[in-house]
Amino acid sequence: MEQNPTDLPISAKIEAVLFCKAEPMSKKKLSTLLGVDESSLQHGLETLREALSGRGISLVETNEDVMLGTAKELAGLIEQFTKDELSENLGKAGLETLSIVLYQGPISRTDIDHIRGVNSQFILRNLLVRGLVERIENPSDTRSFLYKPSLDLLAHLGISKIEDLPSFAQVRSDIDSFKKGIDNTNEGKNSKN
């Protein structure tokens, strides 16, 4: 295949492998399989994303993983024959915790508890079991975990990457400035009055 002069571009190869895999795949594995480096892979993913625009399938991606899914506009059509396992109601605590993980992840449980002001052990476990949240080893403390949104969660929200969340950059920068003690939002301006 490698010798074939009419070799298909890397974006087509990515598409074929992800189609076959039928579940999230790590970018690392994908680049090893295709024998390309990370930046070529990312470039291939961008090309594929463009090629898929207006089509029936789309790309969903986190920093680490990538998968193919149906176009979000066609959710109603697909729901006619597929059952959706994740849509069980989140509840207030679940929604709050999920939002923290989405906008602040990867984040430790201690930090989640600190933001919520309560113990999040069981609600996090519930989200993990449902596959909405994933945990990874904490690079700065191997005895603990960091929590991050799963690809399935992004797919369930109908967004293809985390930056597509409503006001993603704004929320993050607001929270950063709260942490630094700088308050550029209305909150700060008005409270001085």
Partner 1 sequence: MSFTIKTQSFEGPLDLLLDLIEKRKLFISDISLAKVTDDFIMHVKQFEHLPMGESAHFILIASTLLLIKSKSLLPELALSEEEQTDISDLETRLKIFKRIKEASIGIQNLFGKQIIFGRSQSRIISPVFAPSPEFTLEKALFLLTDLINRFPKQETLPKHVVRKVISLEEMISTLTTRITSHLKMSFKEFTKEHKGNRVNVIVSFLAMLELMKKGILEVSQETHFGEIQMETKEVGVPRY
Query: Interface with a copy of itself by CB under 8 A: which residues?
Result: 1-2, 4, 6-9, 11-17, 19-24, 33-34, 51, 54-57, 68, 70-71, 73-78, 80-82, 84, 91-94, 113-114, 117-119, 121-123, 125-126, 128-131, 134-135, 150, 186-187, 189-193
CA distance 68 to 48: 10
**Burial class, 137, CB count within 10 angstroms (exposed 0-12 / middle 13-18 / buried 19+):** exposed
Q: Which among 119, 124, 117 has a CA at the least distance from the CA of 97?
A: 124
* Minimum separation from the CB atom of position 37 to partner 1 (A): 26
Q: Which is nearer to partner 1, 37 or 73 (CB)?
A: 73
Q: Which is nearer to partner 1, 10 or 68 (CB)?
A: 68
Residue 34's binding partner out of partner 1, a copy of itself, none, with CB under 5 to 8 Å set by partner kind: a copy of itself
From residue 193, give the alpha-carbon distance in Å to each of 174, 186, 188, 189: 20, 11, 9, 7
**Burial class, 141, CB count within 10 angstroms (exposed 0-12 / middle 13-18 / buried 19+):** exposed
CA distance 57 to 151: 15
Q: Is 191 in the site for partner 1 (CB under 8 A)?
A: yes
* Minimum separation from the CB atom of position 103 to partner 1 (A): 6
Tell me which residues in 30-69 interact with partner 1 (CB under 8 A): 58, 60, 67-69
